[in-house]
Structure 1
Amino acid sequence: MNYTTQMDAAKKGIITKEMEIVAKKEQIDVQALRELIAKGQVVIPANKNHKSLSPEGIGKGMKTKINVNLGISKDCYFIEKEMEKVKKAIEMKAESIMDLSNYGKTAEFRKNLVEYSPAIIGTVPIYDAIGFYDKELDEITAKEFLDVVEKHAKDGADFVTIHAGLNKEAADTFKRNKRLTNIVSRGGSLLFAWMEVNNKENPFYEYYDRLLDICEEYDVTLSLGDGCRPGCNADSTDAVQIKELITLGELTLRAWERNVQVIIEGPGHMTLDEIKTNVLLEKKLCHDAPFYVLGPLVTDIAPGYDHITSAIGGAIAAAAGADFLCYVTPAEHLRLPNIEDMKEGIISTKIAAHAGDLAKGINGARELDDAMSKARSDLDWDMMFKLALDSEKPKRYREESMPEHSDTCTMCGKMCAVRNMNKVLKEKEIDIFNNK
């Protein structure tokens, strides 16, 4: 039986090879997975032209996945350095990489990325449009915007971020409701400017059916972008954010009618007490489609440490039901991250994702923590390093400060609680003061 997309296959009762791989990774029944995909509650972003892909499931009952942003820009046009980041992100087991390139040989970089990467590849076509056509924003036509989406689809992007919910109604709502930081989404701000200058509807909203044609042809997952996401705590959960979210829910149903998989992108800044409510709103208004959040950052006063503010919010969001976390690095709001920033961002976001998985009771999550606890109880340092999200840093810390006795560390020495409990329970001498 033929099928066009993963969702189409799932609705027809077909088990694809991608479903089989994901079911094995997630330790769940493949038929149960197929049913979740048919309902739109799980997506497997898998472009037909991405041949090196190792597929992943995002959504209900799946491990919380993380995304790494990278890409070339006019100020930092270093393709080789960005490919180094790609290799490091894959080495660190990031499930998804978003190419946010917006200048120069973007197609060349994207092609290399798709050919090399087993991770899911996402793009934001509107970022690429200005450089692709080499003309000002207001001169680009609606057809040209959609042609860039098709180019990215042909090149193998597994999902594309499209800010289709920022239509004229949402723009009018924004203009009536003043914000402290206005529109902070790069794609959202570009579309708002295009709409204002040309006095036209958002082309991705107006020609949404054409967008679905493209996604269906290549099995591109549609990541409906939050062009009106809050850029600070003061703007969170406001009228324009909710207005856009309602529209995204309507667009989700239209996509599902065409068997196009959908992810909903969520807010980037909000206080701790609003996170659970925002996850609930997305799940209700967008029919339980997978939720993808940037952070969220829970305070606005920590530039240089926003990987921490983001991880706090991400853990709470994941525990509340968010499915996909976009990493944030220490360089957020300041500059393009370097490879060390990227590593910090990946680890902090993986911690948040795993913490959420523990709270959600995801298959296999608790077993990892129990294995680490057993290694600590056994004072098995090599096993601790092997199980750690990042083995390099803990190994370096221990090597930089080696204790006199190998069954201790330099914090407690022979007063180590673990060491002494192991000894007393085995009826051995607790030799704190002698040199045994």
Structure 2
Amino acid sequence: MSYTTQMDAARKGIVTPQMETVARKENIRIEDLMERMARGSVIIPANKNHKNLDAEAVGEGMRIKINVNLGISKDCCDVEPELEKVRAALDMKAEAIMDLSCYGKTQEFRQKLVEMSPAMIGTVPIYDAVGFYDKNLQDITVDEFFKVVERHVMDGVDFLTIHAGLNKHTAEKVKSAKRLTNIVSRGGSLLFTWMEINKAENPFYEHFDRLLDICEEYDVTLSLGDGCRPGCLYDATDASQVEELITLGELTKRAWERNVQVMIEGPGHMAMNEIPGNMMIEKRLCHNAPFYVLGPLVTDVAPGYDHITAAIGGAIAGASGADFLCYVTPAEHLRLPTLEDMKEGIVATRIAAHAADIAKGYPGAVEWDNNMARARAALDWDAQFALAMDPVKPVEYRKSSEPEHKDSCTMCGKMCAVRNMNRVLEGKDIQLDD
């Protein structure tokens, strides 16, 4: 029996190699995995042309995954530094990489990225369209937009961010909403501008079936973009954001009718107390499709530290139902991230995802922490380093300030609580004097 997409296979009861990989990784019965995929609450982004993909699942009951953004731009158009970031992101166990390239040798970079990456790959084709055609935005035709989409999927991209929900009706909400930051989504702002200048409907909304034709042919997952995501706390959960979300829910059903997998993108900037409610609204309006969030950043006043503000929001979002976290680096709002910025963003986001997995009771999540606790109780430094989410920094810290007594650290020395408790419970003497 043949199938077109992973969702189609699940609905027909066909077990794909990607499903087998995911079932093993997630330690889930393949029948349960397929049932969730058939409903659309779990996705396995897996373009037929991405030959070396090590499949991952996103959604209900799955471990929370993280995404890393990178790519070349007009100001930073050298391919090699971005490929170095790719290698580092893979070493640091990122499950997804989004290529946001918008200038220069974008196809060369994208093809190299797909070829070298077992992680799932995402792109935002409208970024590439502006640079590829080298013409004014308003002069790009509908056919030209779709030709770029086709080029990306042929190259093996597993998921596409398409801002199809920002239609004319939602655009009117944006104009009347009096937001402080208007539209901060790059893709959303480009489409809004194109629509306003050409007095036309969003081509990806108007010709959504054409988009589904492409996705179905290559088994590409649609990541329905949040063009109206809030760019500051003030704009969160306003009419524009919710109006677009309603439209995304409608488009999700249309995609599922064609067996096209879907995830929904979400905010953005948002106060902590609003995050759980937003997760609930998204899941309800979008029929429990997997939710992919940027942050949310829980304050607007920490430039240079937004990997922290995003990790706080990401942990809350994950614990409240988000399935996929997009990393944020310290360079957010300021510049293209360096390799070190990227590493900090990955670690912060992995912390948020793991903390949320623990809160949600993901099987085995807390055992990692329990193993670390055992290693700390035994003052087994090598075991602690091996268990560390990022083993490099703790090793460097330890070497930079070595204690007199190897079973302690330079913070406490002989007054180390763990060391002394171990000794007294073993019936040994404790000498605190030098």
Separation (CA, whole Å) in 1 of partners of 2:72 and 2:382: 38
> In the aligned structure 2, how far is the partner of 1:83 from the partner of 1:320?
34
- Where do 1:302-313 residues align within 5 Å? 302-313=302-313
User: What is aligned with 2:384?
Assistant: 384
SS state at 1:421 partner: helix
C-alpha separation in 1, matches of 2:104 and 2:127: 12
The SS at the match of 2:356 is helix
Cα shift at 1:433: 2.2
* Deviation digits for residues 31-76 of structure 1 (CA, Å, limit 9, x no counterpart): 1111111110010000000011111010011111000000000000
Secondary structure of the structure 2 residue equivalent to 1:135 = coil
The Cα offsets for residues 157-204 of structure 1, whole Å up to 9 and x where unpaired, read as 000000000000000111121100000000000000000000000000
Q: What CA distance in whole angstroms lies between the structure 2 residues aligned with 1:146 and 1:277? A: 35
Amino acid in structure 2 at the alignment position of 1:22: V
Once residues 342 and 266 of structure 2 are traced to their aligned partners in structure 1, the CA distance between those partners, rounded to angstroms, is 21
Q: 1:337 matched to which residue of 2?
A: 337
**What TM-score results when the alignment is normalised by the length of structure 1?**
0.99
Name the counterpart of 2:115: 115
Distance 2:308 2:130 in 1: 33
Tell me the secondary structure at the aligned position of residue 265 of structure 1.
strand
Secondary structure, counterpart of 2:154 in structure 1:
helix
* Match runs of 1:40-119 below 5 Å: 40-119=40-119
Number of the residue aligned with 2:184: 184
Supply the distance in 1 between the matched residues of 2:20 and 2:31 (Cα, whole angstroms).
9
- Structure 1 window deviating more from structure 2 (265-274 vs 424-433): it is 424-433
- Counterpart in 2 of 1:24? 24
> Partners of 1:37 and 1:417 in 2: how far apart?
49
**Aligned equivalents of 1:364, 1:149: Cα separation in 2:** 39
Q: Aligned residue for 2:320?
A: 320
Shift of 1:432: 2.2
Counterpart AA for 2:371: A
Q: TM-score, normalised by structure 2?
A: 0.99
Q: RMSD value over aligned CA atoms?
A: 0.6
Post-superposition offset of 1:431: 2.5
CA distance, structure 2, for counterparts of residue 100 and residue 341 of structure 1? 16
Gaps of 5+ in 1: none
Q: Deviations over 1:293-335 (max 9, x none)?
A: 0000000000000000000000000000100000000000000
Q: Aligned partner of 2:383: which letter?
A: M
Query: Residue 124 of structure 2 aligns with which residue?
Result: 124
User: What is the CA–CA distance in structure 2 between the aligned matches of 1:290 and 1:49, rounded to whole Å?
Assistant: 23
* 1:144 counterpart residue number: 144
Structure 1 residue 78: Cα displacement: 1.2
Letter in 2 for 1:117: S
Deviations 1:273-312 (A, max 9, x none): 0000000000000000000000000000000000000000
1:374 maps onto 2:374 in alignment: yes
Q: CA-to-partner distance for each residue in 1:216-267, whole Å, 9 max, x for gaps?
A: 0000000000000000000000000000000000000000000000010001
Instruction: Report percent identity of matched pairs.
Output: 71
Whether 1:405 and 2:405 are equivalent positions in the alignment is yes
Shift of 1:28: 1.2
Which residue type is aligned with residue 126 of structure 1? I
* Worse overlay, 195-204 or 26-35: 26-35
User: CA shift at 1:106, angstroms?
Assistant: 0.3
Could you tell me which residue of structure 1 aligns to residue 9 of structure 2?
9
Show structure 2 runs of 5+ residues with no match: none
Q: How many residues align?
A: 434
Partners in 2 of 1:432 and 1:272 — Cα distance? Answer: 45
For residues 91-126 of structure 1, the C-alpha deviation after alignment (integer angstroms, 9 at most, x for no partner) is 000000000000011000000000000111000000
Compute the displacement of 1:131 (Å): 1.4
* C-alpha displacement of 1:133: 1.3
